[in-house]
Structure 1
Amino acid sequence: MPGGSIYVQQDAKYAGSSPQWYYEKFWREAAKSRQRSRMIKAAVGFVAGIGLALRFGLDLVPFYGLALAGVVAAADWWWAWNSFRATAVWRGRRRGEAITGRLLRRSLRRRGYRVLDGRAIRGQASIDHLVIGPGGVWIVDNESWSPDTEIAAYGGRLFFGEKYGTSVAKPLVDTADAFAEMLKRETGVAVTITPLLAAHSGSLPRGGSVTAEGLTLLKPRLVARRIKAAREVVLDDAQIELLARTAARELQRS
């Protein structure tokens, strides 16, 4: 193992043969190409700004050309960087559960929701977040796929590219049922838990979400919005407190 240790297993995401490693390599190598493209776009913006200033009889004509060129260049830089940053979880540079947990707390706590991170039923699968609030109960997990993986639903089936998504959906649906059964048994409150999966990378349909096989996959920034969309109040404050305390006591940290 050149440059490494025979006793320490390297992280596959940083090994020279991984898709993540190649993605970062090609991104760095394409920097000059992006800069040339940005300069061309800025030049077009400069000409357009000059043309608009002349068309409307504005003073300081060169200023508008430079201003529009700057806006075009900045927008192009932001789009390129944001596209690269969106793959950070897939590349192992950021933790999806940390991102989603922060978004959930920021949006839901002031609305009376409780968010518990990293929970599991002993001997069964774990989840990243358990959300309990007026609109009901949800489990939220995090996952990422390569940027070119199309996430879609056809005929009620979930697909990741050409692969069926049952192996992803079924464990989360089963875990939601197991969590609901445990909470009902311990509290006497009948709840239905909705499973959600925050997809940090991958190509989702327009709108940023897809639902199939009992599971909804959506962009992380849309998870809290989906939970808040449950307008009907199904749990009162006492039930929320009871469920949250029971979950904190009975579910071990994963």
Structure 2
Amino acid sequence: MFGSSIYLRGRDAFTGGSPQAVYEELWQRGRKSRLRTRAILAALTLLSCSALVNAVFGVVAALLVAAADTYFHWHGYNASSVWRRGLRGEERMGRLLRHTLERRGHRVLHSRVVPGHGELDQLVVGPGGLWLLRNDAWHPETEIGAHGGQLFVDGRTKSAMVRELVETAATAGALIAERAQIEVKVVPVLVVHGGKLRKAPFRADGITFAPPLKTVRWILRNPVADYSDDDVETIARAAVHALPIGGRTMTAA
């Protein structure tokens, strides 16, 4: 189609009537309302603080209130950026891992194929264990939480999704252990981009759910193994051979 961007071609998020397009339109429509509310809050703060303390304090307090309101709305909008672009978040998570865990000696494998289960986003191998990461972006109003140890998304269970992720992690662990000759357990983690997470990180249906930054912190604070540097290197090499890229098989050198 003439006039369309070659960089966004084929992405459903940029078609008319998509949830992302509707959200963007409503956000733009609400701009005047947000500015009006911000001005009212700042004015009320200015008047009350000036009367209680002095004019200088009132101006400073009004500016702080306006800045806080601006940040609050920007943060919510920015948190949905991955979802608004029709992405799942694996690229953003990859950059975060590169600047955090990889600098701490962890090895990260991207876009590996688990035979019989398809492609995984990231596999993190570190002194504290192995973690299989799947990235999913959600609408900002989507409520994600656990009840009785079971995952609920907007009040509905996601049995097929969690079962597939758990089985993928188990299969990956078995293949890596067989190749490395080291006992390993791969912990499944679903990295949530956007949405409304209740008390994250939380565990449900055998999976840990957390936003990107909290995922990194959770991995560092919740080791499931105690591997030496040599073990980490051996396991990472085994994972490279056991989990091919794009369906290709690897042979030992």
Alignment TM-score, normalising by the size of structure 2: 0.88
SS of alignment partner, residue 234 of structure 1 = coil
Q: 1:75-103 CA deviation, whole Å, 9 max, x = no partner?
A: 11111011011111111266611221222
- 1:241 aligned residue: 233
Distance 1:133 1:94, change over 3 A: same
Post-superposition shift, 1:219?
Answer: 1.1
Query: Of the candidates 103, 119, 137, which is equivalent to residue 126 of structure 1?
Result: 119
Residue-by-residue CA offset, 1:111-170 (whole Å, 9 max, x unaligned) = 321111211124532111110111110011100221222112223321111321112211
Q: Distance in 2 between matches of 1:159 and 1:93?
A: 22
Distance 1:111 1:11, change over 3 A: closer
The letter for the 1-side match of 2:158 is G
Tell me the secondary structure at the aligned position of residue 90 of structure 1: helix
**CA RMSD for the aligned pairs?**
2.2
Give the letter aligned to residue 196 of structure 2.
Answer: S
Runs of 4+ in 1 over 3 A off after TM superposition: 1-4
Deviation at 1:233, TM superposition (A): 5.0
Counterpart in the other structure of 1:57 = none
- Give the distance between the partners of 2:86 and 2:69, measured in 1 at CA: 23
| Residue 109 (structure 2) pairs with residue 116 (structure 1) | yes
* Aligned partner (choices 159, 167, 177) of residue 170 of structure 2: 177
Matches within 5 A, 1:94-243: 96-206=89-199, 208-231=200-223, 233-243=225-235
Contact persistence 2:88–2:137 (CA under 8 A): no
One-letter amino acid of the counterpart of residue 202, structure 2? V
Q: d(CA) in 1 for partners of 2:90 and 2:223?
A: 26
- SS at the partner of 1:235? coil
Q: Partner of 1:253 in structure 2?
A: 245
* Closer, same or farther: CA 89–251 of 1 in aligned 2, 3 Å: same
What is the one-letter code of the residue matched to 1:47? L
TM-score by length of 1: 0.88
> 3-state DSSP class of the match of 1:162?
coil
Q: How many pairs were matched up?
A: 243
Indicate the SS of the match to 2:138.
coil
What's 1:42 paired with? Answer: 42
Aligned to 2:14: 14
Q: Matched residues in 2 for 1:115 and 1:48: separation?
A: 54
User: Does the C-alpha gap of structure 1 residues 215 and 22 become closer, same or farther in structure 2, counting only changes over 3 Å?
Assistant: same
Q: Structure 1's 154 and 230: CA in aligned 2 closer, same or farther, altered over 3 A? A: closer
Partner-residue secondary structure (3-state), 1:252: coil
Alignment correspondent of 2:251? none
The CA deviation at 1:217 is 1.0
Distance 1:93 1:36 in 2: 31
In 2, the alpha carbon distance for the partners of 1:162 and 1:80 equals 26
Any gaps of 5 or more consecutive residues in structure 1? Answer: 54-60
